[in-house]
Amino acid sequence: MAASFRTPIDDLGNLPLSRKQATTAAEARLRELGQIPAEWRHVTYVDSTFDSLDAKYVLSEKRSYDALARLYRSSARPAAYWRVRFFKTEQKEEFTFAVGPTGAILTEHHLLPAEAPGADLSEADARAKAEAYLHVFGVDVAAGGWDPKEAKADKRPKRTDWTFEWEDADHVRRQVVVAGDTPTECSTYLKIPEEFSRNREQVGAVKGILNGIRIVAVLLAVLAGVAVAVIQFRAGKVRWRPVLVGGSVIALCLCATILNTYQTIARGYQTSMPWSLFVVGLAITPLIAAAGSGIFGGLVVAIAASLHPGRVAPLRGNVRDALFGGLAFAAALTLLQSAHGVLEASWVDAALPGSIALPDVLDTTCATCALLVPWITSTLLGAGLLAILASVLDRWARPLWARAGIVVLAGLALLPRDARTSAEWILAALFAFATPLLLWIVAAKLWRGNALAFVLGVGIASARSRCLPLLTQGNARARAAGLAALLVMALVLAVVARRAGSAEARSRSASPA
């Protein structure tokens, strides 16, 4: 399963630099700007320049994933980087730096209040300051390779701000803002022709229909779930112990997940808000989220247990069959993803590059916990929802035409809304319909009557998607977290399988011959 096909952009999320190194580099630059880092609050977090619209434009122009990879591996605009924000509570002024994988400052932004005083420079004087400022980032426009594109003045109450742009041969633009007589911002972006952007982003009838189909699919799923819940409650088959146990586990996991992200939660802090009020919100958020998720998760577990009496609480199942079914489920997902990658790499016109895998676990206090705790939640909820879905299909979708209709509806709901050309629609439709069909076949053939298979299938697939991408990550902390979490997940699944197998064996020995 680990040997799935990889496109040239799959490793763009590598970020070997540590958070401490990125923060140190940003603090050094802040000192160069005449500031004392200790006087500022700061937050450092992983960010990305990757954009699906940019990626599609490059593929349409260069017709090569290698060209796209080169763009996002450039020293000036790497796909993954550290963003370091320095701010003071209830103060408009702040500094933000983008620190690349090598520790170089890629971009910076010094946010000033609009009413801050400054000079009223001419365009020529402001441009000279902007060109000198670019030397800090290793750009010498006088040496050639950068064509001047735009110059715009913005009159402020007590100063004039100038914005200048230069473009290179790859349509990458450098933008510099000179506020008064002080350069305050250097940023980069890919200049996309307006016609291309307009054609890709236009909302057509097909997109509206797909949105409607997704809404219908969600409503049908919700109505089916509510109907099952009402039937099971009225029949008195729902036991409250699974509600309390399952709900408590899921609530605690979600609460722990939220608390684990608080190391970088200040990224979204609005400096106009008092810091004490922001902290109060941080204290309340986990409680509200835990309460809602606990109630929902507990009901999912309890209803699944009521639909499969004696097989979910306690969990029972044939270990060998469940392990084979779980591995087959994860292998089917890997096969689909690999086949999709192969076809996108060879059929560039049909490619719809969506996102890259970033080491988001580096934004948490405990990277290993950031993988393990959500994995527990997703496994419990995923296995429970699939168990409920299996009962719904067995009860209300026995005819072949009904099951075929459900697969078609699921496929239509999975179709991407950003496809525009016939090639994109063909490839997207192929995998949108193949995915639910193949996974249904695997689950129906190998999971039937084996509750353990639902847990192992979801658990193995979730562990694979969360941990394996990190094993090739350039960051040592991310690699260690991925490996540690994968080992713990395997141990947990082994313990669960052993206990479920023992329960199955006891049940069989106790049943009359």
Are 310 and 176 contained in the same domain? no
Residue 411 lies in a domain: yes
Q: Quote the percentage of the chain above a pLDDT of 70.
A: 97
User: For residue 1, is pLDDT > 50?
Assistant: no
Pairwise CA distance, residues 355 & 372, whole Å:
23
* Domain membership of residue 408 as a residue range: 203-510
Are 269 and 402 contained in the same domain? yes
pTM of the predicted protein model: 0.88
Are 485 and 439 contained in the same domain? yes
**Using an 8 Å Cβ cutoff, are 388 and 304 in contact?**
yes
Helix/strand/coil (H/E/C) assignment for every residue in 210-233 = HHHHHHHHHHHHHHHHHHHHHHHH
Residue 6 lies in a domain: no
Are 295 and 151 contained in the same domain? no
DSSP for 392-435, please give it: HHHHH--SHHHHHHHHHHHHHHHS-TT--SHHHHHHHHHHHHHH
Are 114 and 217 contained in the same domain? no
For the chain, what is the domain count? Answer: 2
Residue 69 lies in a domain: yes
Nearest to 467 by CA among 336, 360, 338, 363: 360
Element (H, E) at 161: strand 160-167
pLDDT at 375: 96
Are 191 and 210 contained in the same domain? no
Are 208 and 118 contained in the same domain? no
Are 113 and 208 contained in the same domain? no
Are 154 and 285 contained in the same domain? no
Residue 11 lies in a domain: no
User: For residue 61, is pLDDT > 80?
Assistant: yes
Element (H, E) at 504: helix 476-510
- CA torsion, ordered 441, 443, 448, 449, to nearest 10 deg: -170
Residue 1 lies in a domain: no
Using alpha carbons only, how large is the chain's radius of gyration in Å? 27
Are 26 and 162 contained in the same domain? yes
Residues 321-337 pLDDT 10s: 889 999 999 899 989 98
User: For residue 508, is pLDDT > 90?
Assistant: no
Residue 358 lies in a domain: yes
Nearest to 131 by CA among 121, 117, 122, 141: 141
Across 3-16, average pLDDT: 72
Q: Quote the percentage of the chain above a pLDDT of 90.
A: 52
Across 438-458, average pLDDT: 85
Which one of 146, 163, 197 terminates a domain? 197
Residue 269 lies in a domain: yes
Across 148-176, average pLDDT: 93
Pairwise CA distance, residues 161 & 116, whole Å:
11
Burial of 276 from C-beta contacts in 10 A (0-12 / 13-18 / 19+): exposed
Are 192 and 207 contained in the same domain? no
Residues 254-287 pLDDT 10s: 999 999 999 999 998 999 889 889 888 888 888 8
Which one of 148, 163, 197 terminates a domain? 197
pLDDT at 392: 83
Across 81-95, average pLDDT: 95
Residue 469 lies in a domain: yes
Across 70-95, average pLDDT: 91
Which one of 197, 225, 260 terminates a domain? 197
Split at pLDDT 50, 70, 90, the class of 2 is very low
Are 260 and 283 contained in the same domain? yes
